[in-house]
Chains A and B, each alone.
Chain A
Amino acid sequence: MSASFADRHIGTDDEAQQWMLSAVGYDSLASLMAAAVPESIRSRAESALPPPVSEREALAELRTLASRNRVRRSMIGLGYYDTVTPSVIQRNVLENPSWYTAYTPYQPEISQGRLEALINFQTMVADLTGMATANASMLDEATAVVEGMLLARRASGSSSAVFLVDADAFPQTKALLRHRAEAVGIRLAEVDFSSAAYRDLPDAFGVFVQYPGASGRVWDPTEVITAVKQRGGVAVVAADLLAMILLTPPGELGADVAVGTSQRFGVPMGFGGPHAGYLAVRKGLERQLPGRLVGVSQDASGYPAYRLSLQAREQHIRREKATSNICTAQVLLAIMASMYAVYHGPDGLRSIATRVAGQAAQLAATLSAAGADVVHETFFDTLTVRVPGGAAAVVKRAAEQGVLLHLVDADTVSASVDETTTADDLRAVLRAFGFKQRDAARGAPALPAALERTSDYLTHPVFSTHRSETSMMRYLKYLADKDYALDRGMIPLGSCTMKLNAATEMAAVTWPEFAALHPFAPEADVEGYLELVTQLQEWLADVTGYDSVSLQPNAGSQGELAGLLAIRAYHLANGDDRRTVCLIPASAHGTNAASAVLAGLRVVVVATNENGDVDLDDLRAKIAEHADAIAALMITYPSTHGVYEHQVREVTEAVHAAGGQVYVDGANLNALLGYARFGDFGGDVSHLNLHKTFCIPHGGGGPGVGPVAAKEHLAPYLPGHPLAQRDLVAGRDASQLPEHGNIVSAAPFGSPSILPISWAYVRMMGAEGLARATASAVLAANYVAVRLRDSFPVLYAGENGLAAHECILDIRPLTQATGVTVDDVAKRLIDYGFHAPTMSFPVAGTLMVEPTESEDLAELDRFIEAMIAIKAEADAVAAGEYPADDNPLRNAPHTAQSAIVGEWEHAYSRETAVYPVPGLVHRKYWPPVRRIDQAYGDRNLVCACPPIEAFT
């Protein structure tokens, strides 16, 4: 019999673990965990998880679930369109661990491949929307619109609290705007821009226009944009990227901000996600951008090199003053969309857009000729047809023929054409409207002549070079080879849990039954998905000690926001409108503070003691100071310092006694699963990161899934969705939900196509396997700590001097003694073939190491060997053997070129530079650039593809 999945997932076998345990000083995993995890929080509950199955059995079960989904031709539209994922992109990006197992590119020297792909994305979006600078990326279109609204309020010169919303916006966008605006005191005013009355617009800090409209209508919003801007407002336009190939883009119509989604650029609908949203701004608003922005800088040799720009805008630095709480983005999907543009090029995209518009026009002409009432004269891909009293019958007949239309209301149907639409589909639509098959009328695109696009786009050579599949395949390989992902070696990032993303877990993601469904497909078509979501929600509730889970949030940041909005709504429902204070420990992740502000809460910082634990005296003082105003406390467990805080129950009890709710940040759940549950030691609500603890790959910086889990009393306030097939959040009456449904993502179940990954993980591990993974992760962290403590002080420890699943190595004494900085150590690790641990969080000048359970002993030892060797190199600097400004650490990382070309004039040898330990001879990773000048990139902001000459 072959090994169980848990044995494959956990990198260390029994023999290795015995060796590691003896180094740490324990005789079994059980005794280690008994010593590490405080007795006061140990879980006594019996797990209700089903017993584990093999990889083959799990796939068979997933096949059964998939078979309960039914893929029909979607013409529903509303921001989701079927698309052809070029096979070369599916195989070489979406199904390639070199792309999907990479981390967020915070170490730019080893991330040049995906940074180039992302700058292609930014260039694509900026070109197509006519804006100056695009970010990379947003979580979906609806949340991008919300970010656009918040940006407008920051940048606007108007003191108005009103934001104008296009009545012809997508329904999910309108619901999300309502939910989010209310929490931050923004008043929405919906305006029907198709009636003349809009000319008398109320005073507003901004306006949102959907272009083309949800109904398909194409109109010229210039007058509206100008009117709002003249009064100091900011204009936000959601633009369909495919339509922008034929239409004058928002940048040329005067828009300040363009937002949208890149889904239809080759990313499967996936029942709602994941896809990359985008946000782009006109010149002058760059510093207001939310999210990640890739820019060009230069390396130590002066060669161009990419990096993340203007990071000081972001939540990890600016905390409650950040431009957004967004952290994880949608990197993998943004890369797919950008590669779709690279693959098709401007001409290919033009022919796709023209064909789509032509088919829509053909359908409209044929329907009109047959006597149907097609509402708009100008449209791109979507027709709205009036069928008084007969809309439901039309939609039903279409569905019977395998085509899904959108039922707008009892009298109205809409149909959207996409690049996969065939002549048969159009005939089926005709029949659904009750017309006999007739020759299709000729239809030229029905776009207003005045809005025809005249400007160039995608003129950079990268969008015209890779027409052959051979060239495309090699471009993807060339980029992937520049990057360091989990397929090369360990990525020991503290608080990020870079564990195995197993092949079996990934298998179902691209199955059509999971990939090809529209998020608003009929309930009967998605029973398999609804079952999978229900099971996963039940399992997650079981392992965390909560009652209800919503899988909708698209990242941890969104789960946090959803949890805090739930707390806010709970207090308001109890008449507690004064509870607005959110207590956050000083050591918290910056996203906590940024999310609290977006939930309309006021951040009050609670001190932490020298061990990183919440300072109970300060907590009590802050509670007393804000007695009746405490809304919540946000606490991470184990703490951000990687310690099982002993007194967590006292903390949660103090907050409850003051009438507050306890939010437990689930970022470090990998240290707890199977041993303790948030719900059992005082948590009221948490978010989990399925892309950390539950094996969804990081995708190079997204996708993420951040479910929010809560106790029964908060269930009514967890995210639902006005367009959901069925509300799946346990323990509530869906009919009691507010009209906006507490929505936090565009799609009802967030990013369903990647949920089979976490489902498969839990299904194959079972309760015992998950607990063993936790213990193995804790053992690995403590083994690294013990082996490295003679070289580097290990900061913070809980009971019995043990760390949890991560340990903090203090580099500051080394810096003081030798001048070697934490940056030097991180970059030198690249020369040794490693991705650096988390730098300077939660403590500046330190490295936080989280090996996870998936690394084997040989890899752990290789890392330990590298760190000890680096310490020796630093000591040599201190001893004067190497000058402080010319040593292997300061000059790291070393490219092949820097080691070979020209005279070698350094105080150390070429061998020391690039082969510092013998093991590297057989497995050398060569960084493509030397150390990148961070300041140069921020002082000289360039966020689009540089000209080819720059690289010669």
Chain B
Amino acid sequence: MVDQSELKYTHEHEWVALEGDVATIGITAYAAEKLGDVVYVDLPEVGTTVASGRTVGEVESTKSVGELFAPLDGEVVEVNDDVTSSPELVNSDPFGDGWLIRVRLSDPTAADSLLTADEYAGLIGE
């Protein structure tokens, strides 16, 4: 289980865990709850180049669709196949087994510009 206070966050309700130059990305518990029961996750292919702010995938529930945005520039190095076959992981463990993609960042320092845990808590009114 990751320490949520150590993570970086985005305005699109995604979290980013940085290890070296690889960022693991998922959606927050708040986003998962707002979406409702997730039934389908569409993720990019490994090797895809992603640009910050661009849509790279979708998280779909029975009643709505959330877009997955790339929080930073880089290349997709791994996608969570478990979550494609068991989309409910996004609801049951959004910060753990429900992670979505890993991206090798072209500039790891860019992660500094993302929200801190405190800033994100402020965003969602906690």
Question: Which residues of A come within 8 Å of B, CB atoms?
Answer: 287, 311-312, 317-318, 321, 840, 934-935, 938-939
Contact A317 B64 (CB under 8 A): yes
Q: Which residue of A lies closest to B60 (CB)?
A: A312
Chain B residues near A287: list those with CB within 8 A. Answer: 40
Neighbour of B88 across the interface among A311, A321, A840, A939, CB < 8 A = A939
Most chain A Cβ neighbours within 10 Å, of B39, B62, B63, B64: B62
Contact B88 A935 (CB under 8 A): yes
Q: A287-B40, A935-B62, A939-B87 are in contact. List 7 more A-B contacts (CB 8 A).
A: A312-B40, A934-B37, A934-B63, A935-B38, A935-B39, A939-B40, A939-B88
Q: Which residue of B lies closest to A307 (CB)?
A: B62
8 Å CB interface, B78-92 against A: 87-88
Neighbour of B61 across the interface among A312, A318, A321, A840, CB < 8 A = A312
* Alpha-carbon gap, A36 to B19, bound state (A): 62
B87 to chain A, nearest CB (A): 6
* Alpha-carbon gap, A317 to B66, bound state (A): 11
Neighbour of B65 across the interface among A312, A840, A934, A939, CB < 8 A = A312
8 Å CB interface, B83-113 against A: 87-88
* Alpha-carbon gap, A39 to B8, bound state (A): 55
Chain A interface SS verdict (over half): helix
Contact B65 A311 (CB under 8 A): no
Chain A residues near B61: list those with CB within 8 A. Answer: 312, 935
A928 to chain B, nearest CB (A): 21
Chain A residues near B37: list those with CB within 8 A. Answer: 934-935
* Alpha-carbon gap, A935 to B91, bound state (A): 12
Contact B88 A938 (CB under 8 A): no
* Alpha-carbon gap, A321 to B60, bound state (A): 13
Q: Which residue of A lies closest to B67 (CB)?
A: A321
5 cross-chain pairs, A with B, having the tightest CB-CB distances, nearest first: A935-B37, A938-B39, A934-B62, A312-B60, A312-B65
Contact B40 A938 (CB under 8 A): yes
A154 to chain B, nearest CB (A): 13
Q: Which residue of A lies closest to B62 (CB)?
A: A934
* Alpha-carbon gap, A321 to B58, bound state (A): 12
User: Could you pull out 22 A-B pairs where Cβ atoms are within 8 angstroms?
Assistant: A312-B39, A312-B40, A312-B61, A312-B62, A312-B64, A317-B63, A317-B64, A317-B65, A318-B65, A840-B63, A934-B37, A934-B63, A935-B38, A935-B39, A935-B61, A935-B88, A938-B39, A938-B40, A938-B62, A939-B40, A939-B87, A939-B88
Number of interface residues of B (CB under 8 A): 12
A75 to chain B, nearest CB (A): 48
* Alpha-carbon gap, A840 to B64, bound state (A): 12
Q: Which residue of B lies closest to A318 (CB)?
A: B65
Q: Which residue of B lies closest to A938 (CB)?
A: B39
8 Å CB interface, B16-71 against A: 37-40, 60-65
Q: Which residue of B lies closest to A940 (CB)?
A: B39
* Alpha-carbon gap, A840 to B63, bound state (A): 10
B36 to chain A, nearest CB (A): 8
* Alpha-carbon gap, A939 to B40, bound state (A): 7
Contact A311 B63 (CB under 8 A): yes
* Alpha-carbon gap, A317 to B36, bound state (A): 14
Chain B residues near A934: list those with CB within 8 A. Answer: 37, 62-63
Chain A residues near B87: list those with CB within 8 A. Answer: 939
Chain A residues near B38: list those with CB within 8 A. Answer: 935
* Alpha-carbon gap, A938 to B88, bound state (A): 11
B119 to chain A, nearest CB (A): 26
Contact B63 A939 (CB under 8 A): no
Chain A residues near B60: list those with CB within 8 A. Answer: 312
Contact A312 B88 (CB under 8 A): no
B18 to chain A, nearest CB (A): 31
B51 to chain A, nearest CB (A): 19
Chain A residues near B63: list those with CB within 8 A. Answer: 311-312, 317, 840, 934
Q: Which residue of B lies closest to A934 (CB)?
A: B62
* Alpha-carbon gap, A939 to B63, bound state (A): 13
* Alpha-carbon gap, A287 to B87, bound state (A): 15
* Alpha-carbon gap, A939 to B86, bound state (A): 8
B29 to chain A, nearest CB (A): 17
Chain B residues near A311: list those with CB within 8 A. Answer: 62-63
Chain B residues near A318: list those with CB within 8 A. Answer: 65
Chain B residues near A935: list those with CB within 8 A. Answer: 37-39, 61-62, 88
Chain A residues near B40: list those with CB within 8 A. Answer: 287, 312, 938-939
A347 to chain B, nearest CB (A): 39
* Alpha-carbon gap, A939 to B39, bound state (A): 5
* Alpha-carbon gap, A321 to B66, bound state (A): 12
Q: Which residue of A lies closest to B34 (CB)?
A: A844
Q: Which residue of B lies closest to A840 (CB)?
A: B63
A336 to chain B, nearest CB (A): 30
* Alpha-carbon gap, A312 to B40, bound state (A): 10
Chain A residues near B88: list those with CB within 8 A. Answer: 935, 939
* Alpha-carbon gap, A195 to B91, bound state (A): 57
* Alpha-carbon gap, A279 to B63, bound state (A): 23
* Alpha-carbon gap, A926 to B39, bound state (A): 30
* Alpha-carbon gap, A318 to B61, bound state (A): 12
B57 to chain A, nearest CB (A): 13
Chain B residues near A321: list those with CB within 8 A. Answer: 65
B65 to chain A, nearest CB (A): 5
* Alpha-carbon gap, A312 to B38, bound state (A): 11
Q: Which residue of A lies closest to B37 (CB)?
A: A935
Chain B residues near A938: list those with CB within 8 A. Answer: 39-40, 62
* Alpha-carbon gap, A840 to B60, bound state (A): 18
B100 to chain A, nearest CB (A): 17
* Alpha-carbon gap, A918 to B60, bound state (A): 43
Q: Which residue of B lies closest to A839 (CB)?
A: B63
* Alpha-carbon gap, A321 to B64, bound state (A): 12
Q: Which residue of B lies closest to A287 (CB)?
A: B40
* Alpha-carbon gap, A318 to B64, bound state (A): 7
Most chain B Cβ neighbours within 10 Å, of A317, A318, A935: A935
* Alpha-carbon gap, A938 to B60, bound state (A): 10
